[in-house]
Structure 1
């Protein structure tokens, strides 16, 4: 495509027609270089085969910038408060990553996630209790985001009075654009100070929550440092609730565009567990994997990449690739599960995948049961997508339903 080198994947024009653009890019250039004005030069990978190759090859495509240039990694770390939030396992490769993953896996278990199911159901019900009689709400701000932040905050052990602060901090850190540097630095400092105080408190007086479990977990004499703990908790809060909330919004938006699927799932809620996989594939909240660094001069799909360059795997595009899934642009809630990449692939596969699936299933089944004849309350063309570089989700999703 002639415009690849100046293609802005963050623009409203692109986001509104993202999947049409991705289809054209996969056909013309599944690996392309782009540098829109004011943005970093970047390789983008849109084909399923190429995305999988990038996600699985941590030798050529590293998450840890120190493997390219220690000074560059230090620059990315910035001031101490920012560094305290960057020492998580997604920013590490090899044995450093495996150590962090093993320690966190000891605390963030499937048993702990499954134990949350009754509470997730209760949270969803209470949020709809507050709006059901009115017959309308914004799914994003009144349902998806409060549900997801409450779930992850309670799992970690963050007091309810502080949930609003966490949502504000995470929105600012993930979005970043539209805030001046001093405002961002203040946000990082507030977040780090709060988390470090909570960690110290839980180490001294552990209770039955994930922060306490992470603070106490040990393997062969190794424990998570305060900085690693702070970073891991930040990752769980920010990535966890932002992606889950956007995924709920995306799935509701998709159902409103496919009323036959909505009706069938409303009438047959047992289908939802399998339908969740199709929603994850069809419109993933993780549109792009986190940026990686090319560790050596190499070739990918006929393109020559140079050491030190940045590369992004566009997961949302890969999930719509016909080589991955037949009739990929068609929503089919009864489709046998396709091998989508919405939770990543390989060593950096999403730790919270089980929790995300559970939240999505419960959120959708509860909404369809409680809000009969659910429909979009605005023109479909009025929906705008959040301006967040790696994530995809509606900025607002006004809906209404019948009130008997």
Structure 2
């Protein structure tokens, strides 16, 4: 495919037709090198088998840049405030990653997630109470984001009055581009400063929340350092609401384009568990896994990758690969759970997968029950996608429904 080397996967033109492009790329070259003008060269992996190989092989494809070059890792770390937000388990491999994950697992339990269900239901109901009489809302700004940020903030113990700041900081951090460098640095400084102060307060005066639990957990006498703790909480906040909000937005966007499926799911809520897996597969909010670094010269799908090069596994494309399931471009809410990689694979599998599934289940059930005749309030071509490199979700999703 002649345009591969200059293909810009972040452009509006690409994002609007992403799955059509991915199908063509899988057919032509499931692993290709792209270098749009002014951007770093990047290997993109779009085939399911190849994506799985990258995600499972941390020896050849590392998340930890220090395995390539300590100076390179230090350069990526940047200023101290940035380092304080990047010293988390997703940037570690091997025993260092396993240690951090074991510590976090002690606090982030299935029991804690399950216990949140009544509260998540209450949050969803209250958000729809606020907009119900109008018969219209923007799903993204008035439902998906407020629901997800409230859930993760309450789980962590972030005061309600500070949540707008967290949303602003996380939006800027995940987007990265489009901001003045001094503005981005100020964002990192504010975020890191707030987190470190909150950690110190919770260590001195623990409460019944995840920040306090993380501050107290230890293994063989070792606790999370302030840098590790700050980074872990930042990761949970950003991943816990950015991906969940886009996940809800994507699912609603899919449903309003498939009215027969919407009506059936509304009338048969018992279908929701399989439907949740289908929405996750069909349009993943994590479009691309975090960048990996090639640790040694290697070959993947006939392509020769050199040590130090960047690799991006495109999860959204892999989920639509024909090797994963039959008719992958067809939405089927009755499909028995089909394999997907929306929560990753291997050692870096998403810690919050069970919470994300629960949020999507509740968000959709509540919306379908409370909003009869739910439909898109704009022309489908008017829906634009957020400019966030690794995530996929609508920038806004105006919907309406019948009132009275």
Pairwise TM-score range, normalised by the shorter structure: over 0.9
Q: CA deviation at 1:243?
A: 0.3
**Cα distance in structure 2, aligned partners of 1:181 and 1:77:** 15
Report what 2:44 is aligned to: 44
Which deviations, in whole Å up to 9, do the C-alpha atoms of 1:124-167 show, x marking residues without a partner?
00000000000000000000001000000000000100010000
TM-score normalized by the length of structure 1 = 1.00
1:233 and 2:233 aligned: yes
Q: Following TM superposition, by how much is the alpha carbon of 1:399 offset from its aligned partner in structure 2, in angstroms?
A: 0.2
Query: Which residue in 2 is equivalent to 1:358?
Result: 358
Deviation at 1:327, TM superposition (A): 0.5
After the TM superposition, which residues 5-404 of structure 1 pair with which residues of structure 2 at under 5 Å, given as runs?
5-404=5-404
Aligned to 2:327, the other structure's residue is in SS state coil
Give me the whole-angstrom Cα distance separating, in 2, the residues matched to 1:254 and 1:290.
25
RMSD after superposition: 0.5
1:344 Cα offset (Å) = 0.2
Consecutive unaligned residues of structure 1, counting only runs of 5 or more, are: none
For residues 245 and 34 of structure 2, the distance between their equivalents in structure 1, rounded to whole angstroms, comes to 29
Counterpart-to-counterpart distance in 2, 1:232 and 1:103: 11
1:24-70 Cα shifts (integer Å, max 9, x gaps) = 00000000000001211100000000000000000000000000010
- Matched positions, count: 404
Q: State the distance in 2 between where 1:305 and 1:240 align.
A: 33
Distance 2:29 2:13 in 1: 20
**Cα distance in structure 1, aligned partners of 2:234 and 2:159:** 15
Aligned to 1:168, what secondary structure does the other structure show? helix
Give the distance between the partners of 2:319 and 2:355, measured in 1 at CA.
21
Distance 2:387 2:229 in 1: 29
Structure 2: distance between partners of 1:240 and 1:88: 14
| 1:359 positional shift | 0.3
Other structure's SS at 1:275 match: helix
SS for the counterpart of 2:372 is: coil
User: Which contiguous aligned blocks of 4+ residues in structure 1 show a shift greater than 3 angstroms?
Assistant: none
In the TM superposition, what is the alpha-carbon distance from 1:80 to its structure 2 partner? 0.5
TM-score by length of 2: 1.00
What CA distance in whole angstroms lies between the structure 1 residues aligned with 2:70 and 2:176? 24
Tell me, what secondary structure is at the counterpart of 1:133? helix
* 1:177 Cα offset (Å): 1.3
